[in-house]
Structure 1
């Protein structure tokens, strides 16, 4: 066989072999998450451990808010009550589930709250603290040492993570992340922008649309004051509206996927790919991109909505203001039908022999 023919034959063989390779199977790191949760609980005093633990069906599991601590009462164990060693175990729990990107965003939001605390103390030094790193709570739902189905929650101002473990699967939605100010305008951390990628990628996708596409994408000239599916409002959006992904060209689809990736990849690598598979399995063309707010320098909003995903982003005026810089971000990441692992829990009940044998 001639050398060129041999090379061509080898290339074909390699290509065929590669095509026949099994698709990478992503498995959520449930063992690592479980071990981190158990270590966190074991590191608490008996009093704090009792305070941290709830049953999986406790109402507290769905009781989270983006409001400051003085406006919404949290339960669980706050960072204020933890020793340095216990705080370290709490951070290990966060790192077991989040990617480095997601962990830095999460702790960045918590640190941003510390800056808000400093500003509030200068204005009103004698008031009850409403911001700060100490005012974030962790709750464990179910017993990670014994139960196949359990979860954990981090809840505080502008931050709510809801994690549910069911067997060897993990649900990470709903999640709320916000920042105020979105971009720090002055001081030591001037220019710091925790959620800059969510902002810029959304604007880039909208800017890529032509007039015909925008006529479908724009659902309102004025942005809503907040995300629609915020706390206690997970069922507010039923039908996707806006511009279907089927109307996007190849470049715009890449921009849309990059924007979705920004939210998905806040989680550990395998969890992120499992989430992405769930989103895409229902069909990219069924996902819609919507935009609201078209005035220059005015608040703006976007939404990505499909059968298995709702992403909302809102950049508005700071609380109590109706003018000035648009510099206050709220985001939410949800999964219709599987928030709090609802779909996974139903599947577990149907397939578990223990539950099937119950009268």
Structure 2
């Protein structure tokens, strides 16, 4: 993969932002595009808040930024069908809904925005697939209107942020001094992962699955054995919805992925049943979960030992995740991984079967990098994917340095 004169969205390379340099520190190299985007983002957020009646605005906006209660809520994120915090789209007028989508588009590249919209629309497909009767304690079990928006701080101030999330979607942005300080955690899921279309198939996450499988199958027998983390796939991403990821973290069970306990016994029983079915399908024991825990020492096959063709596949796979960030940041991530010494530090791990249709999981790790993907549930037709920066999720490294703290 050669370096082009333009980055994603056709933006010139000299207007990009280098997110991580050789010392894993953030460096700014030209920021006109980024400042323009952040201004648009602030206007969309401010216009949305200004359009809301007081009661809705009080739920949508949490101030001041940095207040302990506000910060605790900012770090609370989900990808399950639970209350994500803020105001759901279904309670907003059409114009207000449009402003929410405008804000979401500011936080993603256009391909990522289209993917996010598809994920939201899949709630209608899932409703039909489940016979229109799944009970999550609300009038409609699967609801494309249940995607929540919340703003932290005041748009346009030196430090503010926002979140849009719902079932299988979580986008988290932090803005500092007119620049994008953090764009992770970033989660996209798809249930079903593959659905029939007229003369085709809808696979919102098909690209990141196919690229990883192509990389795994391209490895020789010995290399594949080094990449294999476990012969069977784990039933979910390991990092879960933790605010921070650390070595030793094991997969969270479904009961821990909701906003508080599920008081109605029928909902608690439903979640227990879903988790039991997933665990039984994976065949995992406590020892298996321990083997798949996140580690301080790198696991998997190292990029530095890959062939040029395999490294191109890896770069394309990495870009498919980092392109979830706003376009100037996405372009800088692409440039970062074009440098051989940066790519050399990435490792690729796999669990489960390799053939299409078999339950599988993969993981990419490196400095300030954790990517996870699983497609195991519903007969390997229910996918989760997440991109994280273990040191800088939610901009916690930046905030800690400003407070004189040592980030944990």
Query: Corresponding residue for 1:36?
Result: 44
Query: Corresponding residue for 2:245?
Result: 234
Alignment of 1:1-359 (within 5 A): 24-26=14-16, 27=31, 28=34, 29-55=37-63, 56-57=65-66, 58=70, 59-68=72-81, 72-120=82-130, 122-123=132-133, 128-145=139-156, 147-170=157-180, 171-185=182-196, 191-232=201-242, 234-235=245-246, 236=249, 237=294, 238-276=296-334, 283-294=342-353, 296=355, 297-318=357-378, 325-349=379-403
CA deviation map 1:116-153 (0-9, x unaligned): 234446346997323221111001011114x2111110
Specify whether residues 347 and 279 from structure 1 end up closer, same or farther in structure 2 by C-alpha distance, changes over 3 A only. Answer: farther
Whole-angstrom distance in 1 between the partners of 2:231 and 2:346: 21
CA deviation map 1:173-199 (0-9, x unaligned): 00111011100147x696211111111
User: TM-score scaled to structure 2, two decimals?
Assistant: 0.72
Bigger radius of gyration, 1 or 2?
1
Whole-angstrom distance in 2 between the partners of 1:221 and 1:299: 10
Specify whether residues 194 and 23 from structure 1 end up closer, same or farther in structure 2 by C-alpha distance, changes over 3 A only. Answer: closer
Please say if residues 232 and 351 of structure 2, whose CA atoms lie closer than 8 Å, have aligned partners that are also in contact.
yes
CA deviation map 1:252-271 (0-9, x unaligned): 10000000011111233212
**Secondary structure of the corresponding residue to residue 191 of structure 1:** strand
Please say if residues 37 and 144 of structure 1, whose CA atoms lie closer than 8 Å, have aligned partners that are also in contact.
yes
Query: Corresponding residue for 1:10?
Result: none
CA deviation map 1:76-117 (0-9, x unaligned): 010011100000111110111211101111110000012223
Please say if residues 166 and 348 of structure 1, whose CA atoms lie closer than 8 Å, have aligned partners that are also in contact.
no
Please say if residues 217 and 354 of structure 2, whose CA atoms lie closer than 8 Å, have aligned partners that are also in contact.
no
Q: Name stretches of at least 5 consecutive residues in structure 2 with no aligned partner.
A: 1-11, 17-30, 250-293
Moved more, 268-277 or 197-206: 268-277
Query: Corresponding residue for 1:356?
Result: none
Please say if residues 54 and 142 of structure 1, whose CA atoms lie closer than 8 Å, have aligned partners that are also in contact.
yes
Whole-angstrom distance in 2 between the partners of 1:279 and 1:228: 24
Moved more, 219-228 or 293-302: 293-302
Moved more, 91-100 or 291-300: 291-300
Specify whether residues 295 and 31 from structure 1 end up closer, same or farther in structure 2 by C-alpha distance, changes over 3 A only. Answer: closer
Task: Quote the offset at 1:23 in angstroms.
Answer: 6.4
**Secondary structure of the corresponding residue to residue 380 of structure 2:** coil
Whole-angstrom distance in 2 between the partners of 1:129 and 1:156: 14
Please say if residues 160 and 175 of structure 1, whose CA atoms lie closer than 8 Å, have aligned partners that are also in contact.
yes
Query: Corresponding residue for 1:12?
Result: none
User: TM-score scaled to structure 1, two decimals?
Assistant: 0.82
Specify whether residues 239 and 144 from structure 1 end up closer, same or farther in structure 2 by C-alpha distance, changes over 3 A only. Answer: farther
Query: What number of residue pairs does the alignment pair up?
Result: 318
Please say if residues 310 and 334 of structure 1, whose CA atoms lie closer than 8 Å, have aligned partners that are also in contact.
yes
Task: Quote the offset at 1:209 in angstroms.
Answer: 0.6
Please say if residues 279 and 309 of structure 1, whose CA atoms lie closer than 8 Å, have aligned partners that are also in contact.
no
Q: Name stretches of at least 5 consecutive residues in structure 1 with no aligned partner.
A: 1-21, 319-324, 351-359
**Secondary structure of the corresponding residue to residue 311 of structure 1:** strand
